[in-house]
Structure 1
Amino acid sequence: MPKISVVMPVYNAERFLNESIDSILNQTFDDLELICVDDGSTDSSLEILQKFSNDDKRVRVFSLNHQGGGNARNYGLKQVTGEYLYLMDADDILYSNAFEDFYPVCEEKDLDFLVFKATNYGVEKDHYFETGYQNMSSISNIVKDNVFDYKDLGDALFDFNVSPWCKFYNWEFIKNSGAQFRENSKFHDNQFFWDIIFQAKRILFVDEFYYTRKRYSESLTSSGDKGHIDIIGVVNDIIKLFIKHGQLDNYKSKLYNYKIRWITDRYNQIQEKYKELFFIEMKKDYEKLKNTEFENMLNEDLKFIFNNVILSSDYKEFDSINDYCDRKKKNNIQIADKKLEKKISRIKGERTGIKKIAFKSFQKIKKICKKWLKK
């Protein structure tokens, strides 16, 4: 039985796959197995995997019909035989000393999992850069080199990088947690992370870089395709996990605000042709939460976005109002209360029956925007 099992889902990764696999097989700690799950690739990825398997008995290859990264990871988890688990992406690089550093620390401190930092490589511009999300400096500043759990983090819990490749897991802990990746979703990492974080009792943050993440415009999370709409279901399932682990009351305000921020961020990334469908699903979800505790816990900016979704008749109106209010904030335009009241009175009821809006509908935009900006 190997000490470490590495699970790598692979889908059309021929461009970087050799380098990524080499970074695992060339680890200075070599008591490992590499479980590669090809997710129905249409390029030469499967052939590359089979060659590695023929040359190195530590490489095990499985092939599925294309279902998505979450499905491939879950399938790979069923094949694990090692004491520790690492989840690798097929286009990135793990530093060669990683496992040699991680294994003895996890053994000595009896960790559920270990967390480390990553740097980014921009493929198109050929440059390296860091982000706060990959560095997790707010977490590092709190826990330093101490073993911790979620209770030690407070609201900094939401600064955690949910990606599995920046963590080294005790397999027994993962197996007993019952955590799975969300299937048929590009945002499959979230479900896995939020299920394990409340169950882990012993976590260690290693304030060093061990991973290079490739960033390129066609990556799954930056493509802005129809799959972005799934973020609504993802966030709702995250809230259910907080409920499952008895943590909703402890994080309710922060979680509700994050819901609107997460969804808005993905909406802003989506391609124009999918905006209407995203808006419809977003509006249906928000209308259920109107005049509830959820709305009352939103901060001023996010409450404005929340109500703008509900009050807008379509995505074009929603975008126009947001754009108008963003420009007002940047220009720091102030509006007297009396003038505002006159505007509201004059255009009261104007919204009914309006299906489209452009900037010539200027008065209507002001009604909604100013109403929420003055609060």
Structure 2
Amino acid sequence: MMVPDYLISVLLTAHNSEKFLPDTLASLEKACHGVEQYIEFILINDASVDNTAALLDDFSRRHPQAKVFNIDYRNIGRVRNFGVQQCSGEYITMLDGDDQLLADALADIVRYLKSHRPDALFTALNEVYESRPQHITWQGLQAETLSRHQAIEKFLIHRDLQAHFIGQFIKRTILLAHPFPDYTCYEDAWLFPEILVSSHAIAYSRQSPYLYFKRGNSLSSQLDKHKISLLVSATQHMDEVLQERYRNLLSCHWINIAHKHRQALDNPDDRKQVIEAITKIRPLSFLFDSKIRTSFKKKYLALKLNKPL
């Protein structure tokens, strides 16, 4: 029996997600309406102790293009790498077990990917806060072509393109060549710059198929010293990949760490990296750069006027 040639692999990862998973899976079904034959579902249950595995198994029984894998990694970087290895689609998009996709969205994306075949289709994310419910519907894909330089700047400015693999459509060959680090968080921030510089044909859409639920208990919202170390490491890797051409925009990310986590930078190596990055900033170039938001210029001046880190 021949294996279907899928255009898209949806890589869903879940850990103790039984509260949200039914809505996530229902949204996945609705998002694929009419184009199911082009899409496979790779469903990863990582070390759940609730009903997550049973929910994924039930979904897979109803969808022949679904495969379920039960693993015990407890490490999102390793989980994502494992999942990528299981995918067979030309493109991979990622879905967290507590987020959702918009109804009918993937039909437009399938048509676009089939006709244009970019290395990556990046989209903005629809951020949904539990305290502020919103009704968001799919308005159609509005894709534009970006140069690599434009995509990197959009990413570093961090408004329209964030360091998330959820809601993005990236060629499987690129993800196989660039694995995630074994991080428990910020694995996406570490890898995203590599994907940008490895992509040649890049498309971007402000219209996103993805509902990204901002919950208070997310891995990156509850920072401890270990997670801050991972953030510093990811930012350092970003710096190494993107280098001096983007120095001013890179500096904004270092300023953010110094501004937000000043008191928690207990690790001497982390503190040293942040200090060195802030020291690299050329004051006049940074302050007169029109691409730098005023808020970052103010934070930089505050850091210079206050006591050293």
Q: Which of 246, 251, 254 is residue 246 of structure 2 equivalent to?
A: 251
User: Cα gap change, 1:62/1:148 in structure 2, threshold over 3 Å: closer, same or farther?
Assistant: same
Quick one: distance in 2 between partners of 1:255 and 1:249?
A: 9
DSSP-derived class of the 2:303 partner: helix
User: Comparing 298-307 with 218-227, which one deviates more in the overlay?
Assistant: 298-307
| Number of the residue aligned with 2:212 | 213
State the alpha-carbon separation in 2 of the partners of residues 39 and 208 from structure 1: 30
1:5 is matched with which residue? Answer: 9
* 1:283 partnered with 2:290: no
SS, match of residue 115 in structure 2: helix
**How many residues in Structure 1 have an aligned counterpart in Structure 2?**
283
Tell me how far apart the structure 1 counterparts of residues 82 and 7 of structure 2 sit (CA, whole Å).
20
SS at match of 1:164: coil
Q: Which residue of 1 aligns with 2:87?
A: 80
CA distance in 1, matches of 2:56, 2:16: 12
* Alpha-carbon distance between aligned partners in 2 of 1:288 and 1:153, rounded to the nearest angstrom: 26
What is the alpha-carbon root mean square deviation over aligned residues?
2.9
Shift of 1:262: 3.9
The aligned amino acid for 1:30 is E
- Match of 2:189? 190
Distance 2:122 2:277 in 1: 35
Aligned-partner SS, 1:218: coil
* SS of equivalent residue, structure 1 residue 198: helix
Inter-CA distance 128–182: structure 2 relative to 1 (3 Å threshold): farther
AA at the equivalent of 2:87: V
Instruction: Tell me, in whole angstroms, the C-alpha distance in 1 between the residues paired with 2:207 and 2:275.
Output: 44
- Structure 1: where are the runs of 5+ without partners? 131-143, 243-247, 269-274, 312-375
1:55 maps to which of 55, 62, 71: 62
User: Could you say which residue in structure 2 is the equivalent of 1:238?
Assistant: 238
Alignment of 1:89-100 (within 5 A): 89-100=96-107
Q: 1:82 to 1:286 in 2, by over 3 A?
A: closer
Query: 14, 21, 25: which is aligned to 1:21?
Result: 25
- What's the CA shift string for 1:22-71, capped at 9, x where partnerless? 22234111022211122211222122222222333222111222422221
CA–CA separation in structure 1 for the residues paired with 2:246 and 2:67: 41
> Post-superposition shift, 1:263?
4.9
Q: How is 1:274-353 mapped onto 2 (pairs within 5 angstroms)?
A: 275-276=263-264, 278=266, 280=268, 282-288=270-276, 293-294=280-281, 301-302=299-300, 304-305=302-303, 308=306, 310=308
Asked if structure 2 preserves the Cα contact closer than 8 Å seen for 1:23 and 1:94, the reply is yes
Paired letter, 2:134: Y
Paired position in structure 2 for 1:261: 256
Equivalent position of 1:171 in the other structure: 172
- Structure 2 CA distance for partners of 1:79 and 1:155, relative to 1, 3 Å: closer
1:94 and 1:212 in contact (8 A); partners too: yes
Gaps of 5+ in 2: 137-141, 288-296
Q: How do residues 77-226 of structure 1 correspond to structure 2 at under 5 angstroms?
A: 77-123=84-130, 125=131, 127-128=133-134, 145-152=143-150, 155-158=153-156, 159=158, 160-175=161-176, 178-226=177-225
Identical columns (%): 19
Q: Specify whether residues 34 and 277 from structure 1 end up closer, same or farther in structure 2 by C-alpha distance, changes over 3 A only.
A: same
Structure 1's 305 and 173: CA in aligned 2 closer, same or farther, altered over 3 A? same
Q: Does the residue aligned with 1:221 lie in a helix, a strand or coil?
A: coil
Larger radius of gyration: 1
**Alpha carbons of structure 1 residues 307 and 9: separation in structure 2 relative to 1, 3 Å:** farther
Q: Does the residue aligned with 2:134 lie in a helix, a strand or coil? A: strand
Tell whether the 8 Å contact from 2:46 to 2:71 is kept in structure 1 after alignment: yes
Alpha-carbon shift at residue 5 of structure 1 (Å): 1.0
Asked if 2 retains the 8 angstrom alpha-carbon contact of 1:121 and 1:129, the reply is no
**Distance in structure 2 (CA, Å) of the matches to 1:81 and 1:206:** 24
Distance across 2 between alignment mates of 1:52 and 1:182 = 30
Cα distance change on mapping 1:277 and 1:166 into 2, 3 Å? same
CA distance in 2, matches of 1:87, 1:308: 42
Q: Is the 8 A contact 2:144 2:205 kept in 1?
A: no
What letter is aligned with 1:196?
A: I
| Alpha-carbon distance in structure 1 between the residues aligned to 2:238 and 2:150 | 20
- Distance (Å, rounded) in 1 between the aligned partners of 2:99 and 2:153: 30
Residues of 2 paired with 1:289 and 1:207: CA distance? 31
Give the Cα separation in 1 of the matches to 2:152 and 2:86: 35
Structure having the higher helix fraction is 1
Deviation at 1:182, TM superposition (A): 2.7
Task: Normalising by structure 1, report the TM-score.
Answer: 0.67
